[in-house]
Amino acid sequence: MNEGLPKMQAMIVDITADNFQQMVLENSFHLPVLVDFWAPWCGPCKQILPQLENLAQSWAGRFILAKINTEEQTELANQFQIKSIPSFKLYKNGKVIAELQGAHPLAKFKEMLEPHLKAEPSEELRLQAQEAFQVGNYDEVVRLLGEAAQANPNNYRVHLDLVKMYLHTGNLEQGQSLFDKLPEEAQNSPEGKPLKLLMRFGKIVDESPSIEDIQATLREDPGNAEALYGLVGYLIIHNAFEEAFKALLKLFSSHKDFQDNIAQKTLVELFESLKDSHPELVKNYRRKLQMLMF
d(CA 148, CA 150): 5
Of 208, 207, 202, 231, nearest in space to 219 by CA: 231
Same-domain pairing of 111 and 16: yes
| 199 within a domain of the structure (yes/no) | no
Same-domain pairing of 110 and 132: no
Residue 138 has phi, psi (to 5 degrees) of: -75, -30
Instruction: Yes or no: say if 183 and 4 are a contact pair by the CB < 8 Å rule.
Output: no
CATH number at residue 17: 3.40.30.10
Number of domains within the chain: 3
Distances (CA, A) of 18 to 23, 76, 215: 10, 10, 66
Domain assignment of residue 79, given as a range: 12-116
10-42 pLDDT, tens per residue?
789 999 999 999 999 999 998 899 999 999 999
User: Within 13 Å of residue 49, how many CA atoms lie on the same side as its CB?
Assistant: 22
Q: Residue 119's pLDDT is what? A: 65
Amino acid symbol at 15: I
Mean pLDDT over the full length of the chain: 89
For residue 8, the SS3 value is coil
CATH number at residue 269: 1.25.40
pTM summary value? 0.50
| 258 within a domain of the structure (yes/no) | yes
Q: Residue 165's pLDDT is what? A: 85
Pick from 64, 82, 116: which residue ends a domain?
A: 116
**Higher local confidence (pLDDT), 204 or 82:** 82
Active-site option among 15, 23, 33, 45: 45
Q: How many CB atoms lie within 10 A of CB 120?
A: 16
Q: Residue 91's pLDDT is what? A: 97
Same-domain pairing of 110 and 152: no
Catalytic residue flag (residue 148): no
Pick from 80, 101, 116: which residue ends a domain?
A: 116
pLDDT above 50 (res 6): no
Pick from 182, 197, 230: which residue ends a domain?
A: 182
Q: Residue 3's pLDDT is what? A: 38
Give the CA radius of gyration of the chain: 22
Catalytic residue flag (residue 42): yes
205-223 pLDDT, tens per residue?
888 899 999 999 999 999 9
pLDDT category of residue 9 using cuts at 50, 70 and 90: low
Active-site option among 42, 55, 65, 198: 42
